[in-house]
Structure 1
């Protein structure tokens, strides 16, 4: 069983996509490792057979910098900071970058499938994360399914694996639709009430912060200006002291509130530079920068090039 002190002491440990593929290389060197460059811009998706890519060793209690949907066929325990969810037989398991967890298999051999992806793979540029399908499943990380539902989901994941091996020019659009189909299958069988609700105060506050941050996006017009720009702004809206908010968000996600805000503003800046014809001053103003020079400095710090250079690249 997973040691309880592991749950308490490794909250801030983080597993990146690079960490995931490095570990996979050790146990399964025959599986190709994709290029992870410019991942914030171009996004990432992959799908695996659990019998090939997973072991029976308990995973480390940590956050992952990616979303993961697992079709578990067998038994196991999902460990959260303040709770455990047991799976017997079959289930869909949804995990996200905001909440740390560990997985402990209690079956002789792993079976099923899993796919992992970044936020910018699944979310349309014109919707906020809180409006996306994947957000609607956040309060139910485990969806128990029956044999008929298992068969339908096996077919979907099998099709994902075939597409990953194919050369169809629009395969990632098709894969995105398959992910949405998996989420729809989960929403169809999800109980009206949440199966599981995090009770930890830091988890609740972090979730409220992330949701409040996401509600500000996407930026739909040059008249739309960010209202909440700093950790103090969010703390005031959430009626907590900024130090308390910073501590809770750092404890759960391993990142400060300012880091979350900067990453989300950068993601939106990239989208606006790529998908609109607004000038850089207009984009800077919408994102809360009084002067374009300040936006240039911020963007270069985040992306290692200026907004102008990024737009023409």
Structure 2
């Protein structure tokens, strides 16, 4: 099996995608890590990893090199100073054609909690796609030079024993993400809208990410949020142009596609894992949403 190791917390490890089991999700050995792409390439002897997911956030900045980065179902070619953002459990695969140069940063939700960084900050950055994929951003030359210096300071701090080391690391990380956000072409949240509505949308999406395998109905989430299903639909539709039902279905379909494409579980097993007890209903649901049956999508 081809491999591209990750190294959270200084521990080199590789967990493979076992094709007879559900999609491999790699746990973090630590809450934070930063290293050079060259080091990862050398440790893997140039081999390429299988598609996989993580339970932590990953930032990959390609400064130089050729190759591609597969994110869910789209392959993006490497480009100079392209920065990729991979959310927890999002499937990706780094495929360098030669020894690349760049940075890889990983950090867990726990790191954010320990350093008083609200995950809403990450959500509002519009960099990480929790329900869909995000294309890479391109750093202009002057900002790339500033950011490279910043990440060198971040790595020095990470490897140091300085007092308030974690606080300094989190500050450097936030600044780098803010720099990247400035280059993001995705529209920011409409801050003129009611802030309570934005809070409700974030809470709803967080619940869907955590419980989509169990709760499939809008009413289930409205009950958790102590509001009516009608009100939840109105808020979600106003802010993002989708109904709450469509958000739930989008999450289910995305994860169904990941398992169909990247595992060898049976269609029945995939449906059951997503909360569908009737395989015929799961197949009908998938075809209604995608226009293809699960077997047609799997090919």
TM-score normalised according to structure 1 size: 0.52
Contact 2:112 2:119 in 1 (8 A): no
Distance 1:186 1:240, change over 3 A: closer
Contact 1:231 1:257 in 2 (8 A): no
4+ long deviations beyond 4 Å: 9-12, 123-128, 229-232, 244-247, 252-258
Q: Is 1:116 aligned to 2:106, yes or no?
A: yes
Q: Is 1:214 aligned to 2:206, yes or no?
A: yes
Matched residues, number: 201
Between the aligned partners of 1:61 and 1:16, the Cα distance in structure 2 is 11
Q: Per-residue CA shift, 1:218-268, capped at 9, x if unaligned?
A: xxxxxxxxxxx95541497633799x688536536779679xxxxxxxxxx
Contact 1:63 1:253 in 2 (8 A): no
What is the CA distance between 1:15 and its match in structure 2? 3.5
Aligned to 2:63: 73
Contact 2:122 2:128 in 1 (8 A): no
Match of 1:165 among 141, 152, 159: 159
Aligned to 1:203: none
Provide structure 1 residue ranges, at least 5 long, that are not aligned to the other structure.
Answer: 19-35, 195-208, 217-228, 259-313
Match of 1:47 among 34, 54, 58: 34
Between the aligned partners of 1:62 and 1:10, the Cα distance in structure 2 is 14
What RMSD in Å do the two structures reach over aligned CA positions?
4.0
What is the CA distance between 1:163 and its match in structure 2? 0.6
Alignment of structure 1 residues 181-192 onto 2, 5 Å? 181-192=175-186
Distance 1:214 1:185, change over 3 A: same
What is the CA distance between 1:125 and its match in structure 2? 8.6
Q: Is 1:13 aligned to 2:4, yes or no?
A: no
SS across alignment from 1:160: helix
Match of 2:256 among 246, 251, 254: 251
